[in-house]
Amino acid sequence: MKVAGEPSFRDSVDLMFNRAVRLMDLSPGLEEKIRVCNSTYTVRFGVRLRGKIETFTGYRSVHSEHMEPVKGGIRYAMAVNQDEVEALAALMTYKCALVEAPFGGSKGGLCIDPRQWDDHELEQITRRFAYELIKRDLIHPAQNVPAPDMGTGEREMAWIADQYARMNTTDINAKACVTGKPPHAGGIQGRVEATGRGVQYALREFFRHREDVAMARLSGGLEGKRVIVQGLGNVGYHAAKFLSEEDGCKIVAVIERDGAILNDKGLDIEDLRQWMVGHQGLVAGYPGGTHVEGGAAVLEEPCDILIPAALEGVIHKENAPRIKAPLIIEAANGPITFGADEILRQKGVVIIPDMYANAGGVTVSYFEWVKNLSHIRFGRMQRRAEEARSRLLVEELERLSSDKGLGWSLADDFKERFLQGSDELALVRSGLDDTMRTAYQAMREVWHGRNDVEDLRVAAYLVSIGRVAAAYRSKGL
Ligand code: NAD
């Protein structure tokens, strides 16, 4: 989305990159090599639908191949264009480097309004798009591995995986050609929730550092914090659900396409989502809150944490001065333009940047890819062994207690939890939590450790550009 009077999304990402890279001492030319997008493939293909041939335009952009495969989602939206796909591919490069997922950056998109087509038609379109990309190795387990993004989900990823398998019948690693598949089709537990879960873990980590919380002019923990979420899709829904159900946050407003729903006491996110499912994705008429039209204005309402989780460019030069949230976590990619970023920083708003905040998706995608290549579910070998070892300890404690007449007894719920070996979901969540904490600490070290770094975004860029540069250097560049 191009915001009037502001740089395009792609230019915005590059300007943010430039702001960081000028603080680095890279060898001549390396800066340019990292910044540029290596290639963008545009495809126009036809599908016979409803008695006529419909022509669709799609893109797959590869920003950086310092590591392969390259990785990045496929977006279905009418506004998809080359500039947007290249911006998103660049963000993928930096994101993967920041969370140490061993991938280069890529992104794809198809100009389509998925709501205009039924399931069978969407399958035909997706398979045809996938065919075009597969035959050019732009979908490939070792070279380019897509994932879901706006407008796509498990279903589309399963179609893509199947299309690849049909075209590569002897490739034993075929399932690793795409991530975000449903668990029955080679996916991994916890992938659907991963990006929203990552937003929750990112906020938990932020609130563990009192000094950082104070910089956002906040205090205490997540409990009771008033939150506004834009976009109750995959990312926004999971983030809002987990923050409200598990951390005691109050979601006081949800902004959607058809306006916003407000409730000062906190919305029941699961209930609202169920309402949307039954009402063509609309929030108007939801009985658990007040509906207002013109949702964008609700971004400017007072709250503690603002979570834009819909699309890019929603906070721009024009509305940035009116934003009241002291803390913004960019669950969407690029929701704050370069110009708005400047205004918000001057106002003292703390921004947890997209390349970190929404990295939960690619992190769990990485786990799924590893699972597909290893052909075994995480936890399958060790879960019962873990349980047996814990049981040994519990039995020994109980024996000691009874032999020595100590009268100790372990609480039943403790025993149950302690005896449980880790299944795939528990391992995925643990790996995701560890990743989000480690990446935050890497950013934070730069943020607080250098006088010339004033915000988390520049800190994030410095960490990731440093890692990408190191990868290029070891390739002899
Ligand atoms: P989605 O399609 O599941 O959800 C997007 C939601 O935003 C929908 O509910 C839609 O109705 C709403 N929306 C669209 N336009 C809006 C507007 N103008 N105002 C308010 N709401 C609007 O998409 P998603 O997968 O949740 O992705 C959302 C953002 O998160 C995107 O920027 C995407 O690139 C980013 N992201 C997604 C993932 C992932 O795993 N899905 C990973 C990383 C980043």
The DSSP string of 135-172 is: TTTSSBTTTEEEEE-TT--HHHHHHHHHHHHHH-TT-T
What does pTM read for this prediction? 0.96
Closest-lying ligand 1 atom to the alpha carbon of residue 354: 44
| Cα gap 430→436, rounded to integer Å | 10
Give CA 263 to chain center in angstroms. Answer: 26
Out of 3.40.50.720, 3.40.1360.10, 3.40.50.10860, 3.10.270.10, select the CATH number for domain 37-187: 3.40.50.10860
pLDDT at 408: 84
| Cα gap 215→211, rounded to integer Å | 6
From the CB of residue 342, how many other CB atoms can be counted at a distance below 10 Å? Answer: 15
Measured by CA distance, the residue closest to atom 24 of ligand 1 is: 150
**How many angstroms does the Cα of residue 280 sit away from the middle of ligand 1?**
16
Measured by CA distance, the residue closest to atom 20 of ligand 1 is: 256
List Cα–Cα distances, 34 to 55, 187, 354, 477, in angstroms.
34, 32, 19, 11
CATH of domain 194-360: 3.40.50.720
Q: Which residues are catalytic?
A: 107
Counting ligand 1 atoms within 8 A of each CB, the residue from 311, 315, 352 with the most, and so the one to mutate, is: 311
Counting ligand 1 atoms within 8 A of each CB, the residue from 99, 145, 195 with the most, and so the one to mutate, is: 195
**How many angstroms does the Cα of residue 256 sit away from the middle of ligand 1?**
10
> Which residues does the chain have with pLDDT short of 50?
none
Phi, psi of 254 (to 5 degrees): -125, 125
Closest-lying ligand 1 atom to the alpha carbon of residue 296: 19
| Cα gap 123→136, rounded to integer Å | 20
Closest-lying ligand 1 atom to the alpha carbon of residue 276: 9
| Cα gap 75→82, rounded to integer Å | 12
From the CB of residue 274, how many other CB atoms can be counted at a distance below 10 Å? Answer: 12
- Residues in CB range of 116: below 8 A, 6 or more apart: none
Counting ligand 1 atoms within 8 A of each CB, the residue from 256, 337, 355, 364 with the most, and so the one to mutate, is: 256
Buried b (16+ CB within 10 A) or exposed e, 190-211: bbbbbbbbbbbbbbbbbbeeee
From the CB of residue 76, how many other CB atoms can be counted at a distance below 10 Å? Answer: 26
Radius of gyration from C-alpha coordinates of the chain: 23
- Among residues 199, 189, 141, the alpha carbon closest in space to that of 356 is found at 199
Closest-lying ligand 1 atom to the alpha carbon of residue 365: 40
Buried b (16+ CB within 10 A) or exposed e, 158-171: bbbbbbbeeebeee
pLDDT at 335: 97
Measured by CA distance, the residue closest to atom 35 of ligand 1 is: 332
List Cα–Cα distances, 445 to 21, 233, 289, 441, in angstroms.
17, 33, 41, 6
- Residues in CB range of 132: below 8 A, 6 or more apart: 43, 45, 58
Determine contact, residues 230/310, Cβ cutoff 8 Å: yes
Could you state, in order of their start, the residue ranges of all structural domains in the chain? Answer: 37-187, 194-360
| Cα gap 146→139, rounded to integer Å | 7
**How many angstroms does the Cα of residue 28 sit away from the middle of ligand 1?**
38
**How many angstroms does the Cα of residue 329 sit away from the middle of ligand 1?**
14
- Residues in CB range of 275: below 8 A, 6 or more apart: 283, 286, 287, 288
List Cα–Cα distances, 155 to 64, 74, 237, 371, in angstroms.
28, 13, 18, 19
Residues with CB under 6 A from ligand 1: 148-151, 195, 230-236, 255-257, 281, 295, 309-311, 331-333, 358, 361
List Cα–Cα distances, 137 to 69, 71, 341, 400, in angstroms.
11, 13, 37, 62
Residue type, 274: Q
- Among residues 198, 157, 156, 197, the alpha carbon closest in space to that of 179 is found at 157
Question: Which three-class secondary structure state does DSSP give residue 71?
Answer: strand
Closest-lying ligand 1 atom to the alpha carbon of residue 152: 2
Helix 9-21 to helix 338-346 angle, to the nearest 10 degrees? 50
41: which 2 tokens? 């493939």
Q: Please tell me if the domain spanning 37-187 has the same topology as the one spanning 194-360.
A: yes
